[in-house]
Every structure is written in C-alpha cells, then in structure tokens.
Structure 1
Amino acid sequence: MAFFGSKKVSPTSDLDTSPRPRVASALAPFQQQLVQLTRPGETASLAIITDTHYKAGFDPTFYGINGLQHTKEFVADVASQPGVDAYAHLGDLIDGSEPAPVSIAHLQDCVAAFQQPLNKPFYIAKGNHDDNDKFDEHQTVRRASFTANTFNDIVLAADYKQPALQRFSQKYGVAWLDVGPVRFLFINTSDVPYELNRFGIKKYDVKLNLAVRTGQVAEIAQILQMSDNKSIIVCGHGNLLKANHKDGLHYNGRTLHELFRAFNLHARGQVNNHAKKADFQIDMPFDFTHIRNARITAYVCGHRHIEQTFLDHDIRYLLLNCSALMGKGHQLTTGYNARWDRRYGETTEYAGYTLVADPAQGRLAVLGYGAATPLREFSMWFPKK
C-alpha cells in the first residue's frame, strides 16, 4: 500500500493512467501560486516536465506506467492553467528498455497525452533514452530496434505540425516560440548519426552519446541572427555544461555554449572545434555584430535527475528533476531523489515545473511541484523598450 497525505491508497489498477483527482487537489497550492506569478500578456510562462521514463508495468518506487500517468496529470493540471503560455517535455519520455513495438506504443501514448486540445503550443524534445538503445544494449546481438526515423516520425512530426512552433526545417529537432519579448529556443542534444554496420548494430549508441552536430548548430545560429529584442531561454534534454564548467555533452556542449556567449557579446568569428571524429566536426563562421538588444539568459534541461543551478558568465543553467519515480534503494536513483524518499501515492511521486519570465520585475521564477523546490527566483535580463 502507498500513502497520499494521511490517506492510505491502493495503486490504481496497474494499467489505469487517467489523471487522479487526488493529484489535482494536491496541486491546488501550486496552481494558486502560478496565478499570483503570471499576468497574461505581460509574463511568458512555459510548463515543463522531463524524464518520465515510461515503461510497462507498475512499480511503487521506480519507473513504470506511472510515467504516462505523470504526463497526463501534467497536461491536465499544469499545462492547462490559464497563466501557462506553452508546455514542454524535455526528453526521456520512455525508458527505452523494452522491445520496439512496446516502446513505440509508449512514445505514441506520450504524444497523444500532449496533443490535448489546450489551444497552446507544445514541444517534445528527444532524450538519450528515446531511441530504445537501452533495450538494444541488453540483447546478445545488439541490433538496432528502432529505425533512423522512428522517433522523428512519432514525436517530431507532432511538434512540427503546430503552426505556432516556428522552425527553419524539420531535420534537427530545433524550433522556437516567442511570447512577447521572450524567445523559447528548443534544441536537440541527442543529435547523433544513425549508422549501422553489416550486422545491424549502431555505430553510436544514442543513450551513451549526447551531442549536437554542425547542421543543427548552423540552424541555431541562423535563428539567433534574427533574435533582436529578445531575451532567450534555451531548452534541451542534456546540459551543455557541468557545474564545474566542463563539457556536459559527449560532443560539442562547450562548443555550442561558446557560440551562445559570442551571441551575448555581439561578436563575429569562426566555430572550429577540431573534433577528432569527423561526424562531430564543426567549422562555420558566425557574425552577431548586428544584433541589437538581445541576450541568451538561461539554459534549461533535465537528464541528470537532480536540481542544480549555476552560472557560466551571464548564462544561467537550470537542471530540473525527473518526473519519473525514483525511490530509495535503486541503483540508478540519484542522491537528490533518495533524499525525497519518493513513493507511489505520495506528493513526491511526481515532479514538474513552470518557468515564469516577468519583464516588469526583471525576474525568472521557477515554480516546482512534487519532488521539486517549490519556488526559486533569479534576476533575468530583458530587452529595453
């Protein structure tokens, strides 16, 4: 049995993932605080869930079907709120540890949960678990269980169907959304070549290789070239940098971060990362000298299953906790989640956030629920009128 507040509850039937009234009640204080922080037409707000790790079966302390339930509850009780302008899933929708037909069905379930008629734009990022490589790793013959376009055809296709979500192409998983002076820029940190050897085994395991490549970086630079008068919040799955300021991706996290710094300095130059592997080489010019009244202010991501914030020069990194249930006693559970002692049926079972950018107050509020800090506030640069 699990507990919710002071009441004993049994898990719903193992396959019931409909939003639970008790969760809606538990989120009432969060919703009230959101109302106080948001002013339609004046603030820019993005609701975020990340790392749901949806997989089959029920587990009272770890990954399972609760991942889909958390997604549905996020859409019903958080993304639907009047103060929210848009909503996002920052990747690892699924655990990627099951046979391809099962994992494909799970991706479809998550997309269907996001495609509710809220009349708001959404974005779903690719996480390093979303190509099903965890399943492949545990097979005697590690043949790829997903095709090159499995994730794109299910998830990115749903992203790009939305007219409000702007993009230059549908190749890389890059898109942007403007809410007043705030630009939310979405990127893909699982930008890894899909190449198979003669045995059908991938050259690069997506789960073990977070990366951005030259085509995506060029498209990001193109978006930045037309970002005058914007305060930009970049969102992705993996952190470009670690708190010690070393590369947070396996390929080109620091390179992309330095391009962001060049943008903030209105500089021109050449990106040349001198990568040893040709697949990840970047050699391209950039020129941000004409940019006026714009800055990249924050980078927001999941992946690490912790909460953390740090500054690298003038860019604030915000790492958000996983929605996936991570209870004590599991090998993969991070220390951060072990301290929450998360269990099914308790308010710490799930986790999610809403970012509220407030130009009038010069503030970025990070409002959390469940296994998350309730409220953090940071100063934020906004364009001068």
Structure 2
Amino acid sequence: MMAFLNKKQQAPAPNLNTTPRAWVAKALVPFQNQLSQLTRPGETASLAVITDTHYKAGFSATLYGVNGLQHTKEFVADVASQPGVDAYAHLGDLIDGSEAPDMSRQHLQDIVAAMDQNLGKPFYIAKGNHDDNDKFDEHQVARRASFQQNTFADIVFRADYRQPQLQRFSQRHGVAWLDMGPVRFLFINTSDIPYRLNRFGIKQYDVKLNLAVREAQLAEIIQILQMSDDRAIIVCGHGNLLKANHQNGLHYNGPTVHELFRAFNLHAQGHIDNHAKNPDFQITLPFDFTHIRNARITAYVCGHRHIQQTFLDHDIRYLLLNCAAISGRGHQLTTGYNARWDRQYGQPSEYAGYTLVADPANRQLSVLGYGAATPLRQFAMWFPEA
C-alpha cells in the first residue's frame, strides 16, 4: 500500500550548495531590528554566538547534515555582519565527527572558511567534544584514532590565533580573550583531553565522551584573571561547568573551575588542590585575587546540551544555548526542548543562534535569539563602577 504526503508534509528539496538563502535573510529582519535597538556602538559590547552545528555530508530534513555549514554561513552573513555586533563566536561541535577523517578535516576547514569572512571583527571558534572525530572511531572495528594529536588545533585554533585582536598568552590551550570597553569575553577549552594512544593506536580517552579543563590551561586562565581590573567578565566555552542541580557539568574539573571563578569574585587568595584520583586531571595551583579592583565574572555561556537554559550559582549566571543544527522530533539524540520546536528544514526553527548584548549604562545583559530560541531574555548584570 502506497502512502502519499500532502503538500504541507512534503520535505523541501535539499539545498546542497549551502549559499545563504534569501528567505532566511528576510526571516531574520525582526531579529536584526531588535539588535539595532539594543546596541549602541562604543557603548555596548555584543557577541554573536552560534554553537553545535554538527556539520556532516548529506541532507536531512530533520537532523544533522550539510545544513550545519549552511547555518554557519547564514549566521555570518545575516547576524555577525550586523553593525551592532562587535565580535562573533562558534562555541564548538563544528562537525558531527562521524565521518572518514579526510572528510571531517575538510568539514572543519569549511566551517573555519565560513567564519573567516573578513568582516573587520574578531571571531573565536571553540573545540567541542565531537570535533576530534571520535564518533567515527567508535564505529570502526579497530577503533584506531582517525585524527592526529593536533588536527583540530592546526585547522581551527590556528585560525583563532592569527587574529591580532584576539588576545592570548600562548597558542597551546585554546584560551583567549577580547576586551570591549569594561566587558571582557574570556574563551576557554572544555575539551582539554590528553591525546594518548595504546599500542593498537586506540585513544586512551574518547574526546566525545569526556570533557575537562586541565592544569596547564587553568594556570593560563588564572594569569588572565590576575590582570582583569575594572572588567565585567563573560566566560564562554563549549560545555557547561555545572548543571542546574549544581553538580559537575564536565567529566573532570567543572566544579574546580567554577570555584576558582567564585574565588575571583570574592577577591580571595588560596591554592587549588583538587585531589583527583586520575593524575591526568590533577590540579595543584596557587591563585591570588586580593589585589583585583572593580571586577567580577558575571556569566558563563556555552552550548553542548542542545537545550536553552539559565540558572544561577551564587553570583554567576549560566546561559546554555540551543544547538544550531536541525534536531527534529523522532530522533534518539533530540532533546525534549528541540522536540517541542518540531524543527524541520525550510522552517524558521530549522536553525538557532544568539547575540549577547552587554549594556553598562543600563546594567543589563540582553540575550537575543533567533530560530529555535527565545527572541529576547534580559538579566541584571554587574558592571564596574566608572
């Protein structure tokens, strides 16, 4: 017996050339208008953000595919390029990491090229837990590592660090920062996992299944924080340090990093010793924030969970942003949040993205969303006294 779809149910023809679509530009006009109303050049600090594009070959009307590259190009063309946006970021899971290594490397290069469009604005691209191609390795009989140790860094972090506007102490860990007036955006790497192979070429740690911040990276973060007078700091990474129930959001050292951020806000001095049983993730570091003047970490922004959520832990607001990739109903990996959107190719909920607007004059953080996201959320935000 044959089944027929009515016109409303028919999936649209796939767009495999990934050029920005006119209907998307038109659909984003209300978002652009609201952005222009909330931003004031030289007075506000704004960061456009996309996350979890999960780019892979092929077309799907309801799940990951070439739409990941499409969404990135449209994000840059129709959001990051807007006059009110000062900088823009991709917070990780650029690719799905489920394809042959040559193809996955090309996909990483494609996303970097889509982000690097000479807009005259700095950008940052974070490492996600899918970006080391471990999902592909998991499904091979031999399970050997398909990426080399520095595959992601050579393609993506190199693009980050060649920008003079993006400040950093080194080019080793994926840490960087941007200053816009009294606002500092601090970017960290929550996929900071040792690359170690056994004699069969199999990774000791599957990056997809492990998220962490290690000691060398944290030492650099402490160094940055110790020179952060007169700053309202918004930290951005791929994975959430904590969950809404205040338990560990990473596999290693989420609470440790969060408690360091709290110590910064308290202008405290001390020593981190996390007593980790696994030596790869042990942290033993001193810190001294007693001299810090007029500064605070106000928010932590991330993706990874494919939901939209906010919660407070003491004075730090967590903002979890929804995935850009299509995540429609009926798929095992689709969260309840995305199932409620009933996301489908060719509809405005197909994509999702955001712009954060920090407004010192009104002491407010606005989170503008488009597609499968809340259009506007606003929160009181601490700023340094003039």
Q: For this structure pair, what is the TM-score category when the shorter chain's length is used for normalisation?
A: over 0.9
C-alpha distance in 2, partners of 1:357/1:10? 38
Secondary structure of the residue aligned to 2:71 is: helix
Look up the match of 1:121: 122
Q: TM-score, normalising length from structure 1?
A: 0.98
User: Which structure 2 residue ranges, 5 or more long, are not aligned?
Assistant: none
- Return the offset for 1:143: 0.3
- Return the offset for 1:16: 1.2
Alignment map for 1:301-312 (pairs within 5 Å) = 301-312=302-313
Look up the match of 1:331: 332
C-alpha distance in 2, partners of 1:115/1:299? 25
Q: Does 1:88 align with 2:94?
A: no
- Return the offset for 1:10: 3.0
Look up the match of 2:13: 11
Secondary structure of the residue aligned to 1:56 is: coil
Look up the match of 1:356: 357
Look up the match of 1:136: 137
Structure 1 pair 133/277, CA: closer, same or farther in 2 (3 Å)?
Answer: same
CA contact (8 A) 1:3 1:344 kept: no
- Return the offset for 1:11: 2.7
- Equivalent residue letter for 2:108: L
Look up the match of 1:341: 342
- Equivalent residue letter for 2:99: E
Secondary structure of the residue aligned to 1:157 is: helix
- Equivalent residue letter for 2:339: A
C-alpha distance in 1, partners of 2:9/2:44? 37
Deviation by residue 1:108-164 (Cα, 9 ceiling, x = unmatched):
000000010100000000000000000000111110000000000000000000000
User: Which structure 1 residue ranges, 5 or more long, are not aligned?
Assistant: none
Alignment map for 1:223-238 (pairs within 5 Å) = 223-238=224-239
Look up the match of 2:260: 259
Secondary structure of the residue aligned to 1:177 is: strand
Secondary structure of the residue aligned to 1:348 is: helix
C-alpha distance in 1, partners of 2:183/2:30? 26
CA contact (8 A) 1:3 1:9 kept: no
CA contact (8 A) 1:107 1:155 kept: yes
- Equivalent residue letter for 1:158: A
CA contact (8 A) 1:231 1:294 kept: yes
Look up the match of 1:289: 290
Q: Does 1:47 align with 2:41?
A: no
Q: Does 1:72 align with 2:73?
A: yes
Secondary structure of the residue aligned to 1:35 is: helix
- Equivalent residue letter for 2:322: N
Q: TM-score, normalising length from structure 2?
A: 0.97
CA contact (8 A) 1:321 1:352 kept: yes
- Return the offset for 1:12: 4.0
The sequence identity of aligned pairs, in percent, is: 77
CA contact (8 A) 1:92 1:129 kept: yes
- Return the offset for 1:367: 0.1
Aligned residues: 383
Aligned-CA RMSD value = 1.6
